[in-house]
Amino acid sequence: MKSKSISLNFIMNFLLTASSILFPLITFPYVSRILGPAGTGAVAMGTSLVSYFTMVAMLGVPTYGIRACAKVRDNRKKLSQTVQELLIINLIMALIAYAAFFLLLILIPSFRVESGLYTICSAAIILNVIGVNWVYQALEEYSYITFISVLFKALGLGLMFLLVRNSGDVLWYGLVTVVSSFGSAVFNFIRLRKLIDLHPCRPWNFRRHLYPIFTFFFMSVATTVYTNLDTVMLGVMKNNEVVGYYNAAIKIKTILVTLVTSLGTVLLPRLSYYYEQGKEKEFIALVSKAFSFVLLFSVPCCLYFSAYAQPVVEFLSGPGYLPAVAPMVILMPTILFIGLSNITGIQVLVPTGREALVLRSVILGAVVDFLLNLVLIPSLGASGAAIGTLCAELSVTLLQFWYLRKLLASIAETVEFKELIITVIVSCCVLWLLSGLHLNSLFWQLAITAVCFFGFCAIALIICRESIAMTMIHKILKCSNR
């Protein structure tokens, strides 16, 4: 298979990420005002609940499948056999997941009340299975992934304004959320015949996948616990209104995390390929670039969105969501922690076959999150859940750093810490200068402060001739001269 440009893959994935950000930026301010905290909280509760059953259906295939397919991507027969084996496993698990899901709706009264909404949200289970995104990522088909995903997000945007018109349209909001997020799965499945042979490539060997996919599955279980359990525990221990406040903070954090980890999505198949081919030098060089990217992007984001948490929440969700400000500020450092653990875990430990170590770290995070949620949510509500998530992400990052301490010591020599320190100093100075700026329009206050803040950060990087910034400038100049 012809190797695709990492730069092009990153650009395509960045556009995909940008569309994932643009959709909630446009829709959530509208939906939060129409449905209110209780309505948005109900859908957040439904999607969080379904995520557990989706996780069961998918096992560990979304991550393992990328590695497994990337290793055999140059052999169509082996690739077809691998995809068929993993897809059959997913389909069997989907049937089990649906049986357990509907049994839960029958047995639990509070879930039975919302059975219509939760059933709509459950479409995500089968759509995740047939979407086989892991195949497209392994083959670095990022242009296609971006196009089809943006198309369905645009469709979802139109449906949102068409169908969600009053506070009673919670079911429509749930349906639109599923369509915009997972509707492209149908086209992915239809197009699969271009990438692999669909006729049975026997003999199938399911056993060879069982240990790694169950390792990744338990990793997903632990990760899902400390990324979704806070929402579920808030819904059980508090109410949908508190979930709505917390969901407003989580959405903002999720948008920023998606940007920070966008490079990692592109690098996983390439890193797996390099490791399989024994290209150690290229492997370490890519990991070093990933560290620089995460540090240079996440630290300024943490500073800006902590300083402007209140106007951001008011602008995106409305003044009725001010209780979301404190949880948002608490959650901001997790952008950095998740970005770093994404490198050490998904980009280093997974491609090198040490996913068991990642499993240990996320189990630690899940335990920390559950215990802190249990103690803090009754008294602190959404802020307590945010503290639990923050501590969970920190514990995961620290443990993975310990596992890779020797490798990180060598990589640290190539990371441009001086440029990062200068950028942080510039960021703090700009924030101090902007602190006295108060405009009647939240939009213009955020637009002006963001442009000034991130603009000066970019200028500082260029003056310091930071490698990533200079590479981007050279590519832009090269394209403009064509």
Counting Cβ atoms within 10 Å, is residue 280 exposed (0-12), middle (13-18) or buried (19+)? exposed
User: Looking at 1-15, 77-91, 398-412, which range is the least confident one?
Assistant: 1-15
Between CA 320 and CA 9 the distance in angstroms is: 40
Cα separation values, 399 from 63, 143, 225, 330, 343, Å = 20, 35, 18, 21, 13
SS3 of 233-298: HHHHHCCHHHHHHHHHHHHHHHHHHHHHCHHHHHHHHHHHHHHHHCCHHHHHHHHHHHHHHHHHHH
Do 430 and 454 touch, CB atoms closer than 8 A?
no
Between CA 43 and CA 114 the distance in angstroms is: 10
User: Looking at 44-53, 85-94, 263-272, which range is the least confident one?
Assistant: 263-272
pLDDT number for residue 407: 80
User: Looking at 138-147, 261-270, 335-344, which range is the least confident one?
Assistant: 261-270
pLDDT above 80: residue 303: yes
User: Given the structure tokens 């149908």, which residue do they identify?
Assistant: 186
Q: Which range has the top average pLDDT, 1-10, 310-319, 384-393? A: 384-393
Between CA 306 and CA 132 the distance in angstroms is: 37
For the stretch 224-242, pLDDT in tens is 666 777 887 887 788 777 8
- Stated pTM of the model: 0.71
User: Looking at 43-47, 272-276, 390-394, 461-465, which range is the least confident one?
Assistant: 272-276
